[in-house]
Each structure stands twice: as C-alpha cells, then as structure tokens.
Amino acid sequence: MCLGRVVTLVEVAVLIAAGTVAGVFSTVVGLASVVSYPALLAIGLPPLSANMTNTVALLFTGLGAAAGSRPELTGQAARIRRLGLITALGGGAGAALLLITSSQTFVRVAPVLIGAASLVLLLPLGRGGEPGAHDGGPGSHEDGPGAGRPPSRRRRHRHSERNPWLLAGVFGVAIYVGYFGAAGGIVMLALLTAMIIQPLARTNAVKNVLGAVTNTVAAAAFAVFGHVDWAAVVPLAGGFIIGGWTGPALVRRLPGQVLRILVAVCGLAVAVRLGVSAYA
C-alpha cells in the first residue's frame, strides 16, 4: 500500500481528465482501463500497482453510473441481487489470482489483455450492435422483462436467466474483471443481452451495477493485500464519478457503433505500445 506518494497538480489534472473519459467509456462501451491504466503508467506507477490502483478508483464509476441509471434500474433489484452474488465471488477469485501473479508476468500479460479486449469491443451487440438496438429502444416504456411478448417468449426468457452456462459465463467474466477488467463490461453486456429480454439501456444499467459489485470485492482485497497508490486514487476516482454519472445519459442518446470502433482502435494502439515495451 502506497500512502506517502505526492502527485503534482499536472498529474492530478491528467488523472481527473483520464478518469472522466474512462468513466464514460466504462458505462458506454466497457473499456475504461484502456484510458485509465496507461494514464497511471504515464505518471510513473509500476504496472501491477497501476492495475490495483485503477480497480480501486473504478469503484467510483459504479457509483456514478448507478446514480445516473436510476430510471433504468427500476424493478430490477431481485435480478441484481441474484447476479451480484455470482459476480462478487468471481471478483474475489480474480483479485486473488492477480495477487499471486508476479510483476513481470503481468507486464507481459497486460498488452495481450488490452489487445484482446479491444477486438472484443468490435463484436456486434444485438441488432446493429448499438445501444438501443433491442426491441423497445432506450426510451421504451416496457413494464418489465418480456412484457407484451407471447407467453412462450416469456418462458424462454425466465429459463435463460437461470441457464447454468450463461451464469457460468457471468462468473468467468467477473474473474477477469477482478484480475484486469478491460472490456469485461462489454463481454458481460453480451452475456446479459442473451439472458434478459428488455431494452438495452436497462440491461446496460444492470451491467454497470454488477461491475461495481465485482470491483468492490477486488478493490477490498487490493486495499488490504496489494499495492494501491492512494494519492493517485483520489483524482482518478473524481474523474470516474463524473464520467460514470454522465455515461448513462450518452447511452440513451449516442449511436454507439462509431464510439466503440474509435475506442477499439485506441485500445489496439495502447496494446501495441505496451507490447513493444514488454517484449522488446
């Protein structure tokens, strides 16, 4: 745990800006770490400490996203409790895995994870691969999952939410988020869209809360057993709160495909840069 490090005003400004952009990316396209992790490296944090510090700061994206997604979260408490338990267990397992990973191993693994995450971001989600692409759209007044659909569709929906393979996938993604997490949100969103029949904005809100649960468990482990730079957490977390709060509003209005492609290209560039440093 790093308590005595002093960050300069320039570093504070960089981290707030990076956190804001990363918070928006987290809630809209699920790739916050492509921005925030390199920002922490840029101010001099070692890779393993940067990842743990990033995870702790990401807690505040979840808080901002939950506050900005209250309309979409209405009526989903039972679903969040059920899936939240699974993601909490997965986040703890991922954190444990990171804590036993050597620094050199992580340096070599991180570019691969960022590159793979950026490629995953290019996969389509639902019809058109954009927020609002599902039936009903972000502004739908659908009363609940499966409302207004034939009984056979509602039965399939209830079954899919308890499909053991999909639930195992949710657990696996939570492990990855606890370990590193870049694009974990987009993979989680893909799983949830296969499980839940409702407008994508509502499903995205569930994804944001589950991500917060996962990061909470992982961050607690890192705070106690890891190497968190608390001086860097504060400004980065402030930016995450701003970005996490404004991100859901963008989900309601923004065509997501162009943004997803832009973030994926930036992510691939970051992966190449880190890969050159790690393997040169």
Q: What would the pLDDT profile of 146-190 be if each residue is shown by its tens digit?
A: 444 444 455 555 557 778 888 999 999 999 889 987 667 777 887
Q: Given this model, what pLDDT does residue 125 score?
A: 53
Q: What does the block give as tokens for 255? A: 């065509």
Query: Residue 53: which pLDDT band, with cuts at 50, 70 and 90?
Result: very high
Query: Residue 137: which pLDDT band, with cuts at 50, 70 and 90?
Result: very low
Q: Given this model, what pLDDT does residue 199 score?
A: 84
Q: Which of 100, 96, 76, 98 is nearest to 88 (CA)?
A: 96
Spatial separation of the C-alpha atoms in residues 240 and 65, rounded to whole Å:
9
Is residue 228 a contact partner of residue 2, using CB atoms and an 8 Å limit?
yes
Is residue 1 a contact partner of residue 84, using CB atoms and an 8 Å limit?
no
Q: Is 221 helix (H, G, I), strand (E, B) or coil?
A: helix
**Is the model's pLDDT at 135 over the cut of 50?**
no
Q: What would the pLDDT profile of 204-241 be if each residue is shown by its tens digit?
A: 889 888 988 998 999 999 999 998 999 999 999 888 88
Q: What would the pLDDT profile of 55-107 be if each residue is shown by its tens digit?
A: 898 887 776 667 777 888 888 889 999 999 999 999 999 999 999 988 888 88
- In the DSSP assignment, the letter for residue 146 is T
**Is the model's pLDDT at 145 over the cut of 50?**
no
Q: Is 229 helix (H, G, I), strand (E, B) or coil?
A: strand
Q: Is 134 left (phi over 0), alpha (psi -120 to 50) or beta?
A: beta
